Structure 1
Amino acid sequence: MTLRMKSFLPHGLIGRALLILVLPVVTLQLVVSLIIIQRHFDGVTRQMSRTVRVEVAWLLSEVEAARDLGAAQAGMGRIASGLGLGAALPATGAPPAQDQRLWWDLSGREVGTVLHEGLAGLEVVDLLTNPREVQLWLRTDFGLMRVDVPRTRVTASNPHQLLVISILASVVMTGVAYLFLRNQLVPINRLAQAAEAFGRGQTLPYKPRGALEVRAAGKAFLDMRARIERQIEQRTLLLSGVSHDLRGPITRLKLGLSLLPEDEETEALQADVTAMERLVEEFLAFARGDALEETVTAAPSEVVQELVGRWARRGEAVTLGDLAPIGPMRLRVQAVERALDNLIGNGLRHGSRVRVMTLASERFLRIVVEDDGPGIPQARREEAMQPFARLDAARDPNRGGGVGLGLSIAADIARSHGGELRLGQSEALGGLKAELLLAR
């Protein structure tokens, strides 16, 4: 029941604010107006009906006092014409079996009640046959008499005019409230857009505006963004220095080993230095991230084709699958290529074939990398995306494996593009299926 109600409620902040602020006020205004109007016009209707009752009672007494039908008709006609009433004696046709009125005619109910209270000979009050008249059927010594009273004589004209005015005023004020709320919520929307863009690595120009609370939130966001950018810049400078300082000794080690006589011990040392260089590169890539890389407009299909082509030119068994027809989108091309390199490298390390393809939905671009390796058990897929996670000995860096950062780097890059990394089972190749989701 709660879920069914939520589906009909507005999802936007403007709609919810209007629902919270305007709906109770409008409802209260309409209910109060309806009660006051109904009570007021009920009183007016009773007063007017009493006046008509006195007039009809006089007409009825004149008819009852007549000696014969002719005198009764003459007296009835004289009085009825003077009072502006219609009268017929004896009345033609048959009266309704009971009082008649529309079910929503509340004032008509009061008319019937008042007239029946003071007219002993009144049989039926008919407000339905002719909506412009009140037909009264009365019993006399000379038969049934019908008196036609204009409806305006017993009820006020336009009794719900005030209610209509209240409804129109409520509609106008709701529109005014909507405009004011919309103007107040524009700064919140801009703040949300700036925060979302910063989460994707884009820095949009933003200036705090709006109410004091919104300005305070905007200033806090700008301070936070500045701190994060400073930390990223300092970390990048630090890592650049570390990278420079480490590359020198490693290069000297490689040069020194290349001058030594080639034997098993030298080859082992060279392999260790190569592994050390690879580990340093992966550590730096993980620590550097992609926050400071430039976001450009690029065609995803061209990026994937170029990357797969590079792997194929190296002689690796990397093939290209179907490519979704999607136009250019905002990407950090180097970061996406680094994530795909990690996924393809993992696939070739644990399998013999890798296939890359792209799929597109309304919100996301999915780059799928599949291999024919052993895959990752479902219970350990979340663990596999944690930094430095190595699930078995085959992934030990001392045995040719990685350092446990490939999937973690790919997941961070996907998150920085507003998406995520998903791991599953490849139906086509039987190994691991890694889906890199990028927000469009």
Structure 2
Amino acid sequence: MSTHWLKPYMPRSLYVRAALILVLPVIVLLLVVGIAFLQKHLEDVTSQMTRTVSREVNLVTGVMDETETQQQALAAVRPDLAALDMKVRFLDINEEPEIGRRRWYDFLAPQVESELRARLPDLMAVALPSSQEARLFLSTHLGVLQLSFDRRRLSPAAPHQLIVTMVFFAIIMTSISFFYMRNQLRPITRLAKAAQAFGRGRIVPYAPGGAVEVRAAGNAFLDMRSRIERQMEQRTLMLSGVSHDLRTPLTRLKLGLSMLPEEEAAPLQQDVIEMQSLLDAFLDFSRGVAESAPEEVEPEVFLNQIVDDAKRAGYSAELICAEGQGTVTLRPTAIRRAVENLIGNAVRYGNKADVSLTLNPNSLRIRVEDDGPGIPPEQRTEAVKPFTRLDPARNQNQGSGVGLGLAIVADIARAHGGTLRLAESERLGGLCADIIIGR
């Protein structure tokens, strides 16, 4: 049987789910035991006790039916009252029955009253004000009769104490279970925070702890983090080394071409420039976020600096909107490189770049829009892959690249635990690139 319909109603937090696993059985047990005890024991015993008292009351009223005055009635039932441990008196003509307020936790009182009314046709009212006394008011041919006797003759004494005791110890045991459960879940929470921080490009101190399974998961996480760090370092060293070693022959080529006639050297100079651009792109891609340490940054001030630098470089860029205040932990050099790449692409394939910022408690969004030809939806997934060029979609006459611009941006966004999303700009009609980073 499928249980997918339960998922929307289940809590997401592991702590809440564990608490539910602890509390739900306790509540069910209390309900089952309480209902079974009330129905199978208390109600049956109360019914038997009430039936006995009803027979005794009928005995007293039966004796009174044979008398003509109240004094004769009281005298006739006096021997029976001593044996039954009851007290009787007749109310005055203008005297009202004193009912009193029933105790709120006396959950057997309704059953007692119902049983008495069913077995005593002349019963006018029942007073159960305390656990010590019960008063019955009956209509007789001599007037209203008040019968008083011990409340414990109608039902078990203090039945609520069992329920209170059960609830009390259930709360105590559940509290102790919560305490130990919190200690067991704390290592899992620490592991989750360390993994989340690493996914966003930060290394936080972490030492495995807790149960054996949690320690095994923590050690596996540390091994994985070390392997990823080594892989990133090796990639950076390899690409940087290759790019650096190729600069020397390129420099020699430039010197050799400078000695040739200008009309012969021009095509070759263009090839050398493209090779130099390719090497620079390799270096940017290899560095990624390696050269930048996480810092607390004010996004609006930071983006204003990037846009001002782009303007000084001759780009038509503008920060058109900045929503939200606060700081975000970012790698400034890496984010600067990503935003500059988006601005460069925007002005290369369009006429201007509009930058906007949205900061809320959950995420940071940096948006760059242009008025260029954009990228078709079916090619956007390919556009963020390394060494992918979409020249038919992005006007090649406006410039050329090596297919690493958007790949670098996507790599930097992923290193911050975020993502790069491409869409069509509703304002300008070109490409809309969003860098979205969780806080």
Verify same fold: TM over 0.5: yes
Post-superposition CA distance 1:10-34 (Å, at most 9, x none): 3321111121233113321332134
Q: Distance in 2 between matches of 1:42 and 1:312?
A: 87
Residue 226 of structure 1 corresponds to which residue in structure 2? Answer: 226
CA contact (8 A) 2:112 2:154 kept: no
Give the C-alpha shift of residue 37 in structure 1. 4.7
Partner residue, 1:28? 29
Question: Which AA in structure 1 matches 2:136?
Answer: Q
Is the 1:395–1:403 contact (alpha carbons within 8 Å) kept by the matching residues of 2? no
Aligned to 2:383: 384
Say whether residues 1:294 and 2:293 are aligned partners: yes
Letter aligned with residue 179 of structure 1: F
Give the aligned partner of residue 241 of structure 2: 241
2:167 matched residue in structure 1: 167
Q: Distance between the aligned counterparts of 1:316 and 1:115, measured in 2?
A: 95
More divergent stretch after superposition (4-13 vs 169-178): 4-13
1:438 aligns to what SS in structure 2? Answer: strand
Unaligned 5+ segments in structure 1 are none
Partner residue, 2:436 = 437
Distance 1:125 1:174, change over 3 A: farther
Could you tell me how far 1:51 is from its partner in structure 2? 4.9
1:134-153 to 2 correspondence within 5 Å?
134-135=135-136, 137=138, 146-150=145-149, 151-153=151-153
Corresponding residue SS for 1:375: coil
Q: Quote how far apart the aligned CAs of 1:197 are.
A: 0.9
In structure 2, distance between residues paired with 1:297 and 1:115: 77
Tell whether 2:415 aligns with 1:413: no
Q: What's the counterpart of residue 64 of structure 2? A: 63
Structure 1 residues 137, 289: CA separation in 2 closer, same or farther (over 3 Å shift)?
A: same
Distance 1:242 1:95, change over 3 A: same
Change (3 A) 1:95 1:8: farther
TM-score, normalised with respect to structure 1: 0.84
Please give the secondary structure, in 2, of the residue aligned with 1:322. Answer: strand
Contact 1:112 1:125 in 2 (8 A): no
- Give, in whole Å, the separation in 1 of the partners of 2:54 and 2:368: 92
Contact 1:418–1:439 (CA under 8 A) maintained in structure 2: yes
1:38 deviation in Å?
A: 4.6
Give the unaligned 5+ runs of structure 2.
none
Corresponding position of 2:76: 75
170-179 vs 266-275, which moves further = 170-179
Cα 1:303/1:58, change in 2 over 3 Å: closer
123-132 or 197-206, larger mean C-alpha shift: 123-132
Contact 1:395 1:401 in 2 (8 A): no
Q: Taking structure 1 as reference, are residues 135 and 73 closer, same or farther at Cα in structure 2, changes over 3 Å only?
A: same
**d(CA) in 2 for partners of 1:410, 1:210:** 38
**Deviation (angstroms), 1:65:** 5.8
C-alpha distance 311-52 of structure 1, shift in aligned 2 (>3 A): closer
Q: Output the CA distance in 2 between the equivalents of 1:303 and 1:54.
A: 92
The letter of the residue matching 1:23 is: L
8 Å contact from structure 1 (residues 194, 204) kept in 2: yes
CA contact (8 A) 1:390 1:396 kept: no
Q: Which residue of 2 aligns with 1:176?
A: 176
How big is each residue's C-alpha offset from its partner over 1:316-341, in whole Å with a ceiling of 9 and x where there is no partner?
Answer: 32233334463443211121111112
Residue 259 of structure 2 is matched in structure 1 by 259
Instruction: For 2:73 and 2:327, locate their aligned partners in 1 and report how far apart those are by CA, in whole Å.
Output: 98
Give the Cα separation in 2 of the matches to 1:71 and 1:302.
Answer: 103
- Partner in structure 2 of residue 204 of structure 1: 204
Structure 2 letter corresponding to 1:21: L
Alignment partners' CA distance in 2, 1:183 and 1:283: 48
In structure 1, what is the Cα distance between the partners aligned to 2:230 and 2:360?
36
Counterpart code for 1:224: M
Taking a change above 3 Å as real, the CA distance of residues 23 and 214 of structure 1, as seen in their structure-2 partners, is same
Secondary structure at the aligned position of 1:421 is classed as strand
Q: Given that residues 34 and 163 in structure 1 are in contact (C-alpha distance below 8 angstroms), is that contact kept between their aligned partners in structure 2?
A: no
Cα distance in 1 for residues equivalent to 2:356 and 2:118: 87
Q: Which amino acid aligns with 2:364?
A: L
Alpha carbons of structure 1 residues 381 and 54: separation in structure 2 relative to 1, 3 Å: same
CA distance, structure 1, for counterparts of residue 325 and residue 58 of structure 2: 88
Are the equivalent residues in 1 in contact too, given 2:239–2:282 (CA < 8 A)? Answer: no
Flag the 1:158–1:130 CA change in 2: closer, same or farther, 3 A: closer
Shifted more, 37-46 versus 248-257: the winner is 37-46
Match of 2:215 in 1: 215
Moved more, 71-80 or 104-113: 104-113
Shift of 1:207: 0.5
The 1:174–1:238 alpha-carbon spacing in structure 2 relative to 1, beyond 3 Å, is same
Q: CA separation in 1, counterparts of 2:415 and 2:247?
A: 28
Task: State the number of aligned residues.
Answer: 427
Partner Cα separation in structure 1 for residue 379 and residue 274 of structure 2: 26
Q: Which amino acid aligns with 1:235?
A: R
Q: 1:188 to 1:50 in 2, by over 3 A?
A: same
User: Higher mean Cα deviation, 144-153 or 293-302?
Assistant: 144-153
Aligned-residue offset at 1:201:
1.7
Give TM-score scaled by structure 2 length: 0.84
Question: Which of 96, 109, 114 lines up with 2:111 in the alignment?
Answer: 109
Q: Which moved more, 1:353-362 or 1:210-219?
A: 353-362
Residue 321 of structure 2 aligns to a residue whose secondary structure is coil
How far does the alpha carbon of each residue in 1:223-243 deviate from its partner, in whole angstroms, 9 at most, with x for none?
111111122222222222212
